[in-house]
Amino acid sequence: MGSKLIKINVAELEDGMILGENLFDAMGNILISDGITLKKSYIKKIINHDIDKVYIKEKVKSENEEEGKSTPYIIKTRLEAKKLIGEAMEALSLNGAIVEKVLVIVNKLIEDLLDNDEIISSLGKLRSVDDYTLEHSVNVCIMSLILGISYGIKYDDLIDLGTGAILHDIGKMMIPQEILNKPGSLTIDEYEIVKRHTEYGYEILKNIKGISDIAAEVALNHHERLDGNGYPYGKKIDQIKIYSRIVAICDVYDALTSDRVYKKKIEHYKALEYICKMVNSQFDNELVKKLLNCVKIYPIGSMVKLNTNEIGLVVDIAKINPSKPVVRILIDEKGDKVADYLEVDTNKNIDIQVTNVFPRFQGNFG
């Protein structure tokens, strides 16, 4: 017997239900922990904190799961997708059976994302560190579908977007492994070889029945940039379709926030700051806005450290400049608790910057 997560309205909560997620208060402190059996007092507490919907665990029979453990649907689909990409790259080909599986998996991912608002707002929960190329392909697919859904791309076109995204790096199977997995910096010649994966991918996909032109073009153009400084052809904004622009952003975000053989991952907020700096030169402005709606640089309620050595709580975000939050100072530069109410708008104080983001802070500054 395993369990699955179901999202329900708070009004439907009953004694005995098992909470399927951690709930936090406005200060970022845990309100009620994942796995708690709910009772009336807990339900009242949830209602009083203006929480509309929560996940609960529903027990389900499963032949492949141990008692008390569950594998969420989206994670199962990711594992299927990862296995599939591995099969394709190992076989150095995409036969009809694999193409059919790709389309089925992309459909599954789309359906799950469309049905689950929590996933759209919680990209970080979908990530794990694993073999880079395979994991990266699936991560980019999921993120691209999320952006595509947010952008309003219709369902049939999401199939093409997801297919192109999950196969965007398929051309890397033609690149020598010793170059792909080289722990140090690539030589100029080696980098030129790696860059060919876009053209290899296009040649592979364009000749396969069941793969659309859109999907093949994603493989070709996901390293093109709006200002013409991308590769392989140096295309500019009017030559790059929306599907390739979407995958380009997701490809860079996932690459920056993943451990690779030659480079350690960076914090997600630093990756988002980088992408924001490249708006209109490398990345589409409207798409970056959509990305920031899904993954906030500094989520409200997160704890940050400023270059003044002060620590505070993010209480607001500047819509015009999401990398410059309003911070309520809780600890001063000497490490002492601040008694007076003090907020710093980093958008108006250009010399003040965020230097670090902390995990959910467990202190209580009331």
Residue-wise pLDDT for 246-297, tens only, equals 999 999 999 998 877 778 888 888 888 899 999 999 999 999 988 887 776 7
Claim to verify: residue 349 and residue 289 sit in the same structural domain: no
Tell me the C-alpha to C-alpha distance, in Å, between residue 137 and each of 42, 82, 340.
Answer: 41, 8, 49
Q: What pLDDT is recorded for position 217? A: 97
Give the pLDDT band (50/70/90) at residue 238: very high
Structural domains counted in the chain: 3
Pick the range with the lowest mean pLDDT from 50-59, 99-108, 123-132, 320-329. Answer: 123-132
Give the pLDDT band (50/70/90) at residue 242: very high
67 lies in some domain: no
Query: Which of 140-144, 308-312, 346-350 is the most confident on average?
Result: 308-312
Pick the range with the lowest mean pLDDT from 57-61, 153-157, 214-218, 298-302. Answer: 57-61
Cα 74 from chain centroid?
Answer: 13
Higher pLDDT, residue 87 or 140: 140
Q: What pLDDT is recorded for position 131? A: 56
Q: What pLDDT is recorded for position 197? A: 94
Q: Does residue 163 register a pLDDT over 80?
A: yes
Range of the domain at 319: 303-358
Helix ranges, the chain (H): 40-48, 73-91, 96-115, 117-120, 132-151, 155-166, 177-180, 188-195, 197-206, 213-221, 242-256, 268-277, 285-294
Q: What is the mean pLDDT of residues 86-99?
A: 59
Share above pLDDT 70 across residues of the chain, in percent, rounded to a whole number: 73
Q: Look up the CATH number of the domain holding residue 16.
A: 3.90.105.10
- A 10 A CB-CB count for 74 gives 18
Q: Does residue 55 register a pLDDT over 50?
A: yes
Claim to verify: residue 228 and residue 176 sit in the same structural domain: yes
Q: Does residue 337 register a pLDDT over 90?
A: no
Q: What pLDDT is recorded for position 286? A: 92
Structure tokens at 24: 């936090």
Pick the range with the lowest mean pLDDT from 55-59, 112-116, 128-132, 312-316. Answer: 128-132
Claim to verify: residue 95 and residue 33 sit in the same structural domain: no
Give the pLDDT band (50/70/90) at residue 87: low
Q: Does residue 125 register a pLDDT over 50?
A: no
Helix ranges, 116-227 (H): 117-120, 132-151, 155-166, 177-180, 188-195, 197-206, 213-221
37 lies in some domain: yes
Claim to verify: residue 33 and residue 99 sit in the same structural domain: no
Q: Does residue 69 register a pLDDT over 50?
A: no
Claim to verify: residue 237 and residue 112 sit in the same structural domain: yes
Claim to verify: residue 282 and residue 214 sit in the same structural domain: yes
Domain end residue (candidates: 294, 315, 341): 294
Separation CA 67–CA 158 (nearest Å): 36
